[in-house]
Amino acid sequence: MSHHLTIGTAGHVDHGKSALVEALTGIHPDRLEEEQERGMTIDLGFAFMQLSNHQEVPIIDVPGHERFLKTMVSGVSGIHLVLFIIAADEGVMPQTKEHFGTVRYMGVERGIIVLTKCDLVDEEWLMLVEEEVQSLVKGSFLAGAPIRHVSSISGEGIDELKKTIEDTLNDIPVKSDHGLFRMPIDRVFSMKGFGTIMAGTVLSGRISINDPLEVLPAQIPIRLRGMQTHNQDMECAETGQRAALNIANLKISELERGQEVSIPGYLKPTMMIDARLHALESNEEAIKNRLRIRLHKGTAETIGRLVLLDMEELGPGEVCYVQFRLESPIVAERKERFIIRGFSSMRLLGGGDILEVYPQKHKRFRDPVLDYLKHITDATPRDLIDQVMQRAYGLGRLKTVVDLLTLTNLSPETIHTEVESLIEEGTLIEILNRGVMHASWYERLKDDMVNELQRMHVEHHLKERVSKDALRSQISSPIQDTVYNMLLTKLVEEGRVSQQGSEIKLASHSVSLSAQEQGILECIHTLKDKPVHIVNMNDILDLNPDSRPDMMKNMVSYAFDQGILIEFADKMIMHQQGLESAKNKLIDYLTRHGTVRATDYRAYLDISRSHATALLDYFCDLGITHRESGTHRLAKETVGDH
């Protein structure tokens, strides 16, 4: 056995768990004076059992009394082999069933059934107890598990049990772990000369002494002074290993069991969790919707309410999709196991696995929600990423690999591999190295842009183009700049949208005037009949007094948009052809005379001095002329062009 494994005990109070641990290790795991006096374990006890190859494996002795069930759950988290202990003189008791439910729901996969105090009963009674135990564990991971008879006082059966433990440990396959570092805290204490110590079993990943860490859910950065396992200094800790971390920057009062240690930014606090819940078969009544419960996962206990998503009530032994709405934040991963207890009764009610760590608040009996939860319950990594990306919303439709790490809890290597494959097949679209978006959202957003542009064309039917910023402001879905620009570029490439500078239109769109609008336009065109005719807005609006004012204003705006009317100075407007005539007359005059003053230009065009000055300034701004000592002269470029 080269990998790190942990053994845990489970069973009813006074069934001899601590005595058995002492018989196996030579160490009594009860470390509190109160425990020694009362003869029961009220907190987690720890001892190390030496194997035949001199390797040591930790044994966590957990409390059996119902009042300390939450502490028992802390011990179950992270164990690989359970010693399920029943006293032969008493047999299966109520807490035996609760502990069995707990280890089953928390995902323990291997176990040994140990009947203690066998020296107190005869063979016939022992056979009856065995039958009772086998009936309890039928259909579970303990069905067919080895059963060993021992007496911790006399030592009977202890050597055989040790061999069975070692054989079972050697038979547990090494699971590849590419996860990121997590360690639920199950002990916090202070040591003279060292300061604050927190301890736990590494749930996943690997950490070195200088790596950055944070305590969750408070997200407090921590700095390590040192790490130990079994009183030995070490430079790193890895999955399955018991680790004691010496913290440099936090007081013992700032830490407690139930918190976790992880790398910064990976786990985010949440107040809601979606899960699949299996109700305990021995429950005396159905679990009601919105029941107040105690949720246990890792080493944490959190109070909240249970919302049943697909059933009116959850009967004994039934399975349901649920949402936990918590009263304080926790951190969790997909597929993490949990149990729930009644808030008041403290009795075990059931357990299951977490499906969604950062859900929205759900209404009950909603098919899209239930379909999604069914899809991800046992999804492959590929399907999980696909489903998560399809269910993204708002700005979160664009996901980075870091986002997917937090949302899927898959390994970085798996995410990279699957994302590349999904991009290659077209299921995901890469957005300019900023992340990926599901193709269904990508296409839907493009269609939304086209539909909204169509609506804007109808609403402003006299405008041939709209600004691309105006379109974006009208789209109901929030989109990042990068995504919007990429979608617009794609629509142009597909020939669905035409773009000129910052203005866009549907490629198929053209302005079509009604008969009334065409009549107004013809009135506006009469302004060109006078060679140099300068008007203001009121003059234009009065051109067709029979038209509706709103239609007249819209057509004037259209004429400006089309370049038919030009406001060359404040409140001074000309028809484009009239302005072109004034320009040509100016060029002619300057060709013959070299320079022109405003008074000369006024007389030449028979207009007011203010209009002549404004026109000269306008043509100067266009670069046709330039000023020179109160006069205007043709620009060199204009001379050459002319």
**What is 138-185 written as a DSSP string?**
TTSTTTT--EEE--TTT-TTHHHHHHHHHHHHHHSPPPP--PPPEEE-
One domain, residues 48 and 135: yes
The residues near 567 (Cβ < 8 Å, ≥ 6 apart) are 560, 573
Q: Is pLDDT of 59 > 70?
A: yes
Of 468, 493, 512, the domain-final residue: 512
% of residues, the chain, pLDDT over 90: 68
Confidence of residue 476 (pLDDT cuts 50, 70, 90): confident
Both structure tokens of 495: 């020939």
| Residue in the block written with tokens 């009963």 | 121
> What burial letters (b/e) apply to 572-590, b meaning 16+ CB within 10 Å?
bbbbbebbebbbebbbebb
CATH number of the domain residue 18 falls in = 3.40.50.300
One domain, residues 17 and 151: yes
Q: How many other CB atoms sit within 10 Å of the CB of residue 463?
A: 19
Confidence of residue 490 (pLDDT cuts 50, 70, 90): very high
Both structure tokens of 122: 């005869």
Mean pLDDT calculated for residue range 372-401: 95
Q: Is pLDDT of 77 > 70?
A: no
Q: Is pLDDT of 69 > 50?
A: no
More confident residue, 33 or 114: 114
Q: Which of 42-46, 377-381, 470-474, 478-482 has the least mean pLDDT?
A: 42-46
The residues near 466 (Cβ < 8 Å, ≥ 6 apart) are 453, 456, 457, 460, 503, 504, 505
d(CA 274, CA 290): 14
Burial class, 343, CB count within 10 angstroms (exposed 0-12 / middle 13-18 / buried 19+): middle
Q: Is pLDDT of 37 > 50?
A: no
Q: Is residue 2 part of a domain?
A: no
What's the pLDDT tens digit per position in 167-202? Answer: 999 998 877 666 899 999 988 988 888 889 998 888
Mean pLDDT calculated for residue range 317-336: 96
Split into its structural domains, the chain has a count of 5
Mean pLDDT calculated for residue range 507-527: 92
Confidence of residue 445 (pLDDT cuts 50, 70, 90): very high
Q: Is pLDDT of 308 > 80?
A: yes
> H-helix or E-strand containing 51?
none
Of 151, 171, 191, the domain-final residue: 171
Q: How many other CB atoms sit within 10 Å of the CB of residue 594?
A: 10
pLDDT at 62 (0 to 100): 63
Domain range for 232 is: 182-262
The residues near 287 (Cβ < 8 Å, ≥ 6 apart) are 279, 306, 308, 313, 314, 315, 349, 350
One domain, residues 558 and 637: yes
% of residues, the chain, pLDDT over 70: 92
In sequence order, what E strands does 407-510 have? 428-430, 436-438, 466-467, 497-500, 503-506
Confidence of residue 6 (pLDDT cuts 50, 70, 90): confident
More confident residue, 36 or 232: 232
Mean pLDDT calculated for residue range 369-391: 97
pLDDT at 29 (0 to 100): 59
Nearest C-alpha neighbor of 10 from the set 90, 89, 74, 56: 74
Q: Which of 8-22, 119-133, 300-314, 599-613 has the least mean pLDDT?
A: 8-22
One domain, residues 588 and 453: no
Q: Is pLDDT of 639 > 60?
A: no
Q: Is pLDDT of 349 > 80?
A: yes
Q: Is residue 440 part of a domain?
A: yes
Q: Is pLDDT of 549 > 80?
A: yes
One domain, residues 390 and 283: no
Model pTM score: 0.79
d(CA 304, CA 638): 81
The residues near 240 (Cβ < 8 Å, ≥ 6 apart) are 3, 4, 5, 6, 78, 80, 201, 202
One domain, residues 167 and 41: yes
d(CA 32, CA 458): 80
Of 461, 477, 512, the domain-final residue: 512
The residues near 613 (Cβ < 8 Å, ≥ 6 apart) are 598
Burial class, 386, CB count within 10 angstroms (exposed 0-12 / middle 13-18 / buried 19+): buried
One domain, residues 566 and 477: no
d(CA 311, CA 316): 13
Q: Is residue 233 part of a domain?
A: yes
One domain, residues 354 and 414: no
CATH number of the domain residue 437 falls in = 1.10.10.10
Averaged pLDDT score across all residues of the chain: 89
One domain, residues 252 and 314: no
Q: Is residue 177 part of a domain?
A: no
One domain, residues 540 and 623: yes
pLDDT at 111 (0 to 100): 95
- My answer on whether omega of the bond before 269 falls inside 30° of 0, hence cis, is no
DSSP secondary structure string for all residues of 341-402: EETTT--EEEEEEEEESSPPPPPTT-HHHHHHHHHHHT--HHHHHHHHHHT--GGGGSB-HH
pLDDT at 65 (0 to 100): 36
Q: How many other CB atoms sit within 10 Å of the CB of residue 472?
A: 17
CATH number of the domain residue 241 falls in = 2.40.30.10
One domain, residues 527 and 508: no
Q: Is residue 1 part of a domain?
A: no
Q: Is residue 607 part of a domain?
A: yes
Q: Is residue 364 part of a domain?
A: yes
What is the four-CA torsion angle of 183, 187, 190, 194, rounded to 10 degrees? -30
One domain, residues 406 and 494: yes
Q: Is residue 202 part of a domain?
A: yes
d(CA 570, CA 555): 20
The residues near 585 (Cβ < 8 Å, ≥ 6 apart) are 531, 532, 604, 605
d(CA 405, CA 415): 7
The residues near 508 (Cβ < 8 Å, ≥ 6 apart) are none
Q: Is pLDDT of 40 > 80?
A: no
